[in-house]
Structure 1
């Protein structure tokens, strides 16, 4: 009797396993980053953070555009990746090197505009990461495309150990904001090496003019949209930095980073598999709606309590965890916690529109966001400093951007009611968390007591509300979207 060949893993099982490893990767590394950040915050000052933020804004914007969107083509195209990976690497590396050359000469003017002329050296060192990113983007994307998140975890973990150890060591010896830059570059060197060695496709630079045209034609609108996305998420630092000083910018960056924790931990883990998963379901809109609702429901179940706790215990958390010098950032964090939740929804919407070939529409949506947020930030910062900037961010996202994304997705034939219904339990639980926080803060004056007791009470109230949603987890029996 002939033995049956082992069954090919289904897309669903690959996505499920990929999601688990991606979540483990993100949670473990973000937890480590959080711990390292706490150590560094107690060594460095808000002014040091402000100087580093100037360099980080430049690097982040460059990395949005340095590979011209070819990484998304690697995920989206169904062709054999070995046919176009060499050309994609050549485009990414070549353009990254050219961008870094421009940055080297533009650094003094940019830092002067940001009100931090001392950031020039930090910016020139940190932006070397753009070149490393150009080399790494193709093998790293192939790992995601093949759902090899376990391998990606090993690469990222090795880089994290190097970044953390180098950065803390340099900060402790008085290197100030330069410690961030040198530590990041050391970690980039490790991650690039690991990606190249462990990628299942051995990628080397190559060139095919026809493939290059196709890659740029497909990826350029997405790169423009990504640049606009990151412009939207960084224009606040530019406005705050140019209208205040390095200390205020450092406090604002601390608040913004804390509000981004749910996005970084939960949403980024999901995004490593969401685009590939959505792309394989575009021909069955009912299944796509179901997958979207399941993903949104789970993300909200994980993110809502974290955002609620950040908003309600911003001051006590900053004082206990990071030190008294960071407590003034609470006035911004209380507001930005809501922005963190909205950004999770918008990032999922972004990936959905990419899967639906909504590249040009995304450019328009991000342009709308940028056009609305810039004047709002200027007015908000002028009127109320970093808190005014935070309020401007939330108002524009809630009133302009989220409704615009929802309208476009609905026009593509995707019903959003199932996703909305999937959020009922998380939002109900979130209201309980907020109510409990108001009571706890009235009863206890100690910051530490508020954090410990408030966290326990919140967990006791929230968990029973969302526990039925466990049926939506990958690998469990298929359930209705609304538990």
Structure 2
């Protein structure tokens, strides 16, 4: 038990360190890429990513997660899983290739057809990437995975910047993302030092297929949930407005999109190893929940408070319309993150249907709210997340705590201190910004409010919730 937690802690350290290096570099480069592209370019990219993400979610068929939970894993079983993955991916590649023209016609964007056909190439590499990635995760070998991710991200970011500077527009992001997928597939396989060949007879894979099908359905609906606003808004908003909303949403969820895979990919194997010890997995989960929420709430609420200065300084005046949508969406991100923390625990405990139930309800609620809000523009769309996010968070909380036997009240009590302290910090910084107006240079105002926010949050937490403050100070990776 202690060995598992020790290996998990080491894996998390390596993954976090290399992921931070990767994200700092890619975030820095992406800010320059945005300056070379137009809102219209991001409107096209948003639609392409939505279609591709839905298809790629099906590509793994949840079989990678089944490999991690398999008690007796032999070479033949691995080859059978690879054979299934290849069949799924070839089917998806053909479907995307031949449906590309219809999708382009639906969105009245002729460029989409060729772009979707090019991105279908990713399906040829996906089976080996999925297989190798999850076999490395099973061994808790996240250090090697993180090195490959870092290398691929750096090369992909530089490729995107070079192509954007050369005037390639939306193609710069499309081709860079494709290159990253290919590099990861090759890198994971090389690190594993074993090139498996597929087996095309599938006896004995029934349980894995059933488990994977549930996770695939959940993942597909989750991807649809993450992109439902773009799919709906594409019918109501002009391409320029859609691009503004897409960039605001992308920037708001970028830290979440990068952090959650890090947490989940390390937490899932750990929970799977201790899933039969109810008291231990509950203790570990609650500790992780407290630590992540005490840092995530001030981060995102602080970003929302300084968004105006940051956007105008970094992205320029042409993205001014993205400021309010960005602020509104940022306020919802900590609850999204808190909801997603249950995902690896539910999978490890053998309740993959929990995610399916939760995401189905979330998708339905969000689709209705977005459909009602979209005709009124990007600001109302962004504000609609303030309504839907607390609803699907509370639903997920009730569902997951009941199945994991973790008290509902324990999670609410853990959530309250950082939420209250962060909200107070946000209000005070926004008030300061209103009072200062244009009297202070924008760069200096940004620096002042960042320092002020950190001091305010720590002070409020120390005065009102000293135990949480002390626990956060003692946190060690």
RMSD: 2.1
Aligned counterpart, 1:5: none
Aligned counterpart, 1:478: none
* CA drift at 1:39: 0.7
Q: Does 1:260 align with 2:253?
A: yes
SS at match of 1:243: coil
How many residue pairs were aligned?
466
Greater CA drift, 131-140 or 72-81: 72-81
Q: Does 1:338 align with 2:340?
A: no
Residues 55, 127 of structure 1: 8 Å contact kept? no
Aligned counterpart, 1:294: 287
* CA drift at 1:154: 1.2
Give, in whole Å, the separation in 2 of the partners of 1:320 and 1:63. Answer: 35
Aligned counterpart, 2:432: 440
Q: Does 1:403 align with 2:394?
A: yes
* CA drift at 1:56: 0.8
Give, in whole Å, the separation in 2 of the partners of 1:473 and 1:91. Answer: 42
Give, in whole Å, the separation in 2 of the partners of 1:130 and 1:322. Answer: 34
Aligned counterpart, 1:182: 175
Residues 67, 91 of structure 1: 8 Å contact kept? no
* CA drift at 1:471: 6.2
* CA drift at 1:83: 4.5
Using the size of structure 1 for normalisation, the TM-score is: 0.91
Residues 440, 453 of structure 1: 8 Å contact kept? no
Aligned counterpart, 2:378: 386
> Structure 2 matches for 1:122-137, cutoff 5 A?
122-137=115-130
Give, in whole Å, the separation in 1 of the partners of 2:226 and 2:288. Answer: 23
* CA drift at 1:239: 1.0
Residues 381, 387 of structure 1: 8 Å contact kept? no
- 1:467–1:406 Cα change, 3 Å: closer
Aligned counterpart, 1:350: 343
Selected match of 2:411 from 407, 416, 419: 419
Aligned counterpart, 1:4: none
> Structure 2 matches for 1:34-433, cutoff 5 A?
34-80=27-73, 82-199=75-192, 202-382=195-375, 384-399=376-391, 401-412=392-403, 413-433=405-425
Using the size of structure 2 for normalisation, the TM-score is: 0.92
Residues 237, 253 of structure 1: 8 Å contact kept? yes
Give, in whole Å, the separation in 1 of the partners of 2:71 and 2:475. Answer: 27
Residues 311, 337 of structure 1: 8 Å contact kept? yes
Residues 107, 120 of structure 1: 8 Å contact kept? yes
* CA drift at 1:249: 1.5
* CA drift at 1:234: 0.6
SS at match of 1:423: helix
Give, in whole Å, the separation in 2 of the partners of 1:91 and 1:372. Answer: 34
* CA drift at 1:236: 0.7
Give, in whole Å, the separation in 2 of the partners of 1:84 and 1:355. Answer: 20
Aligned counterpart, 2:475: 473
- 1:345–1:200 Cα change, 3 Å: farther
* CA drift at 1:225: 0.6
Residues 18, 147 of structure 1: 8 Å contact kept? yes
- 1:365–1:214 Cα change, 3 Å: same
Give, in whole Å, the separation in 1 of the partners of 2:300 and 2:159. Answer: 31
Give, in whole Å, the separation in 2 of the partners of 1:417 and 1:69. Answer: 32
Q: Structure 1 unaligned runs (5+)?
A: 1-7, 476-483
